[in-house]
Structure 1
């Protein structure tokens, strides 16, 4: 008599948004210290984050790139490299020999490179800040009325996020759409988390540890006088974060 064994797993295709580290220098000893310095300014922002190594901008021969040293260095920074995108076949083969397979997007093409988080220098406030974009019809909103505590993370998946209280240092608020903080923003705010570059961050008291839109971010040290506690809105122009007053 046959016996049906219980199902132990299922395989399904997935579609994920991943950060891409676009290599411009083949030397791990040049890349890793600079990368570590950036991530130390935003502790925990990319801790244990999966990351793709972009090879398309690299002007080097395969034997000039120490992929194994790069992998070990990224692990030491608590970043998890999972594969590569772009680059010439010989470069992809060298990376694969070190344990970084080429990733392909849905449809079989090489994974398209998306710009990873880069420091975005604050710019002077414009004389007249552009008006916020109209709210997209039908997009839901997550409303938070309690203070967001240190160590707490709130994510509005597929929605805007409205916080009517304080976002404390060490707290993180994330939205696929816009982030509104009608209180003090002292933690981290990430808008457009699923590659929505038109997303914005609005805060009545702007003093964040980190601000990010669609993968481009700036930390407190880069904000200067912008993080002065004034009502502020942040938006993205190209690959630069822009800051302007509210009202």
Structure 2
């Protein structure tokens, strides 16, 4: 009888984006908190269900001041999911995790502000594929979330190719191939010589130790069948 662990579905890793509100307090903090209280009185549900980031780059607070500010916001039912601009003061227990690399978004109107006019949506520019005429060397990472990646040469051990769609390697695949990174379960991985360190399609991973040794060195096609990763030798 198979063990319960063998029947468990594989673990998937996915990226996900959320719109967050960024609070950027200014000195004096007491006056800023008073303005915040006035906003909450006008719209008590303004922060309900919103992810909130606290950007303290304009304050350069000490750790004690930062703890006090986070506590003041928590008392107003504004939980902080992350900190920006806190430096060393933002590290340690009792504080939200530090965040970096956020990209600015549009203004979110407060209750006393009219909503900005909706911009005319631009027609997206879609690039369907990326073709590499040279091999991917060890240590290189090729990231192309917009579509398929085709490598006319080989992908060396220690190299990585990440594609929003499928990955085609006309030489040897010795590195890592991560297809369907944009959430495409129909993505595929095809190579002429199969020697990968790691494979992934739509968040489902397989490392070299879990790959049938009989497939190594052969032309192979990899795809998803539900929650299972299938591999077959190409005729």
TM-score class, shorter: 0.3 to 0.5
| TM-score, scaled relative to structure 1 | 0.45
Largest Rg, 1 or 2: 2
Structure with the bigger RCO (C-alpha within 8 Å, sep 6+) is 1
| TM-score, scaled relative to structure 2 | 0.47
